[in-house]
Amino acid sequence: MFRKKRFYLFVFTVVISVVLASCSNDRIRSEASTDGEEITLKFAHEEGQGDVQDLYANKFKEVIEEKTNGRIKVDVYTGGTLGTSIDILHSLQTGAIELAITSPGFSGDVIPESQIMSIPFLFSDNLEVNKKVLQESEALNGLLADKYEEIGIIPFHFWLEGFMYWTANQEITAPEDMNGTKMRTMPTNLIIRSYEHLGATPTTTDSGEIYTMLQTNGIDGQENPLFYIVNGNFLEVQDYLMDTKHHIYTTVTVTNQEFFEGLAKEDQQIIEEAIDEVNDWSFDMQEEEAEKALEKAKEDDIEIIELTSEQREAFEELSLPIREVYGEESNDAKAIIEMLEKEIKEAEADLAE
């Protein structure tokens, strides 16, 4: 019996020693990171070189490499380099990449509640209001952010890339104009159902195939931020550009949770500060890109139509039931929509004073 006790005591001592050694190593690794360990961040986004997300990612690279004198380096991967937008999201989940910009239109099947960001006419037609909401919203930065963390992803910031525009080969200024129009949509269920409510025939198309599908009449029209429409040369194969302000293109900068929480606190803070700085900068940047795109659009042989308030209201009224459809996705989705609606109204009232 005595020998058994000595044996158990020996095993217990070994186990404790291993645990303490492991804790010590973790502490050493943390201190090493703080004391100057070099880190390389793989940062992937969904757009092409020179597009808004690419400008954002490269600005982050510039800021953080300057803040750390090159100790933290960033490799930026443009859209398609690491696969589709869904591939990027999965790579982030598995830790194959550390940072990404991902849009709710592509993440909706993984995070169903994120699709609420694509509800037509939910956000304000005032970009300053939308900026305030994206920065301060508890619905987004609390309730919706929790949904990202449930799948191992930390969202730093929701931010916008400007208003969405419609393009088509016919005018779309009234709800009946949308009937039967083959509109390109992102491949998520609720966005597809939204366009069905508007009377269109939604057609999911990969971003890289939009131009060809428009050219061959596989689709009749599409929606995107203006800079993306112009940079993608879509106006070469479309006759009308509709300034509808029916939606803003929102996206979110995210990181792998396990990776980020494994960093030293000092490095976590550096990354967060860099992203805060870039996020503030991005609002003015996207406005400048939209202005440049509008000037280029005016040079094209295309008719630009700005919908009147009455025309927008007709589409908005038609789209209101869509909010109930989105709310049916889950009780959490309904709560997020209701809170977000309230926050948008409050922000509009605040900025109107």
What pTM does this model have? 0.86
Q: Can you give the pLDDT at residue 2?
A: 37
Nearest alpha-carbon partner for 248 in 121, 60, 115, 333: 121
Domain ranges of the chain: 38-352
The predicted pLDDT at position 14 comes to 38
Write out 30-43 in H/E/C secondary structure.
Answer: HHHHHCCCCEEEEE
CA distances from 258 to 88, 95, 106, 261 (A): 17, 8, 22, 5
Burial environment of residue 201 by CB neighbours within 10 A (0 to 12, 13 to 18, 19 or more): middle
Query: For residue 21, what pLDDT is reported?
Result: 42
> Is domain 38-352 classified as CATH 1.25.40.10?
no
Spatial neighbors of 266 by CB under 8 A, at least 6 apart, are 33, 34
Q: Measured between alpha carbons, how far is 104 from 251 in angstroms, rounded to an integer?
A: 7
Residue 287's Cβ-side half-sphere holds a number of Cα atoms within 13 Å equal to 10
pLDDT tens digits for range 262-275: 999 999 999 999 99
Give the pLDDT confidence of 268-309 residue by residue, as tens digits. 999 999 999 999 999 999 999 999 999 999 998 899 999 999
Residues β-bridged to residue 223: 166
Spans of the chain below 50 pLDDT:
1-34
